[in-house]
Amino acid sequence: MGDGESDMGRLFKRAKRGNYRRVVSTALALLGVCAATSARAGDSGAAMVVTTAGGPVAATSRGVLQSYFAIPYAAPPIGDLRWRAPAPAPKWTAPITKSKSAASCLQTGNNAFVSPGGSEDCLYLDVHMPSGKGPFPVMVWIHGGAFTTGSAGGYADATPLVSKGVIVVAINYRLGAMGFLAHPALRDAEGSAGDYGMMDQQAALAWVRANIAAFGGDARNVTIFGESAGGFSVLTHLASPRSAGLFDKAIIESGAYGVSGQLTQAGMEAKSAVALEKTLAGEDAGPACATGTVTAECLRGLPETLIRKRLMSAYSDAIGNLVPSIDGKVLKQTVRDTFVAGANNKVPVINGSNEDENLLFVAMGEMGARFASKPPKLDPADRSFLMSPQAYAKGAESLAAETGIPVRDLTDKYYPLAKFGSDVALQPSRATAAVGTDSTFSCNGANVSARIAAQGAPVWMYEFRDQTAVPLLGAFGGKYVLSLPMGAAHASELPYLFAMVGDAQNAEQRALLATMSAYWTNFARAGDPNGAGLPKWAGFKSGKVQALDVASGGGVQAMPAAGFAAQHQCRTAWAKQAF
C-alpha cells in the first residue's frame, strides 16, 4: 500500500511512546461535535435563575436536565492575561441566558473534526442539574483530546448521570500552546512558566467549591472525572499540591498513559522556544517583537491571527505528545515520582482503561490511508489498507531499539501474529494495537491502581470490554467503511456515560449503560460504586478488576487482577514500568 502502509507502521512506535496527539484529537473532537449537536436539539425555554458569586445565571430546561451554559469561572485570558494564571472573572448583573456552551478554547489541527469556532476567550463552564432541591453530589467533567482539542460543549448531554441525581459540571480549559507554552520571558515571580491549562482546571474546581451550593450541589462532595487527557488531568490533580482540598473523589478513564513522561520546565521552555522561533520567523509580530528579543510584552501582544496561523501547529509539532510539565508549581516532579514518594492527594479513586485502547489509533491510520487515495476508497471489503506483516515487523524493530526489548521477544514471544485471531489479514493491526494498549494504557493503569492500594486509599479498577460498542469513527453515509473492527477502543466507554449521536443502543448496551452510570454516580455519592441491584465490584486491593461488558460478551463481573496483568503482558514485556 505504499504511503498508507508506511503511516500505519509508524503507529506501532507512536503507540509505545503515547505519541498519539493527532489521532486521538481527531476522534475525541468528533465526539464533541456530535454530542453538542444532540444536546442543542432538545433545548427549550429558560427556567430558574441562580445567583453565583459573580452574578445571576438562568437555566435552560432540557428534559430531565436544567442546564446553565457558558458561566465564566475566570477572566478572559487575553491581552496582558495571556499566558498567566487565571484571574477572577469580572462580575455581571444581568442574568446569563445562554442556551449552549461557550466557544471551545483554541484548538490544534486542520482536520474537519477539530471543534469549530475556537477562541482565546474560553474559560467557561456548564452546570447540568436534576430537578429537586438536593444537596446533590457534584461530578466535574474534564474533557479529553490530547490537551489540544475538545470542549465542555462536547459533553452537553449528561442525562445518563444527571438522571441518577447528581450535578455534572463540564469545563473548558486552555489547550495546546495557549495552555502549556513555557518561555523564560513568561516566568512568574516564583520562576514558574507553563501549565496554564491545569491552573484553569484548578480555578474551575475552586469556583465549584465556592458556588455549587447555589445550584443545590453539595460543595463538600465533589468528584473529578475525565477521559484520556481528561483522565491524565485527574492524575495530575492527584499529584499536584495546588489541587489539594479542591475535590473529594476521582475517576480516571484511560488516563495513566504519561505518568513519567513529563518534561522539566527547562525542557518545556526549550521546545517552546523552537515553536516560537518558527512562528516569528519572517512574520510581522507587532512592534513589541521588532527588536528580535522575545519578551513577555512581545508574546502577550502577538496577533491572534498569527497564533492561529502558525503558533498552535508549530508548538504541537515541537512538543509531540503534550502532557503537563514539571513547572515547579502545578507539578514539582513527575506524576509517577509523586506517587512513589507518597506525596499525592489521597482520596477514593476509580481507575480503568479499555481492552483495545489502541485499536482506535490503528484504525485512524487505516482511515487516513483510505482518504489519501484519489478518490477515497471506502469499501471495507478492500483490505489492502490494513497493516501488513512487513509493517508490523518493521515497527517491532523500531520499538525494540527504543525499549531494549529484543525484537524476537516482541514478535515471537509476547505478540506473535498467530495470537491475534484466525483472520490473518487483521493480525498485524491487532498485534500493533495490543502493543500500544498494553504499554501505554493497561499496564500503567494497573501500576497506578497498585500504588494507590498500597497507600491504603480505596481504589476500584475496571476494564471496559464491550466489543459491540458503537465505533467512534469510520462511519460514512450510514456505513462503516473500515476493514478493522474497533472493539473496545479508546473512548468507546463515553457513550455509556453521556448521551451522544449515533449511540443507538440495543437492550444489552442499555443495560450496560444503566450499570456503568449507576457505578459512577454511586461512587460520587458515597465513595463506593456498589449499590442495590448491581454486580458486586470488589476493590483492587482484593486482587480483582471489574470487567464492564454486555451480557453476550461476558457481562459485568470480577476478573483476577493477575489475569488482567497476564493478558496485557504487564509482568513480562512491560514489567519495568511497575512502581
Q: Which residues are catalytic?
A: 228
Cα 371 to Cα 44: distance, rounded to the nearest angstrom: 39
Candidates 254, 322, 282; CA nearest to 497 is 254
3-state secondary structure 130-167: CCCCCCEEEEEEECCCCCCCCCHHHHCCCHHHHCCCCE
Would residue 286 be called left, alpha or beta, if left means φ above 0 and alpha means ψ between -120 and 50 degrees? left
Q: Compute the half-sphere exposure of residue 361: CA atoms within 13 Å on the CB side of its CA.
A: 34
Facing residues of 462 across strands? 352, 546
| CA distances from residue 339 to 174, 235, 244, 345, 453 in whole angstroms, order as listed | 26, 10, 14, 9, 11
Cα 317 to Cα 298: distance, rounded to the nearest angstrom: 22
Cα 228 to Cα 146: distance, rounded to the nearest angstrom: 7
Read off the C-alpha cell for 312: 498552535
Sign of CA dihedral 502, 434, 424, 387: positive
Read off the C-alpha cell for 559: 476478573
The angle subtended at Cα 439 by Cα 438 and Cα 442, nearest 5°, is 45
Cα 481 to Cα 477: distance, rounded to the nearest angstrom: 9
Under 8 Å between Cβ of 177 and 311: yes
Contacts of 447 (CB under 8 A, 6+ apart): 256, 259, 570, 577, 578, 579
Query: What DSSP string runs through 335-363?
Result: HHHHHHTT-S----EEEEEETTTTHHHHH
| CA distances from residue 155 to 37, 54, 69, 158, 333 in whole angstroms, order as listed | 10, 24, 12, 7, 32
Cα 159 to Cα 154: distance, rounded to the nearest angstrom: 13
Cα 51 to Cα 214: distance, rounded to the nearest angstrom: 7
70-88 burial by CB neighbour count: b if 16+ within 10 A, else e? bbbbbbbbeeebbbebbee
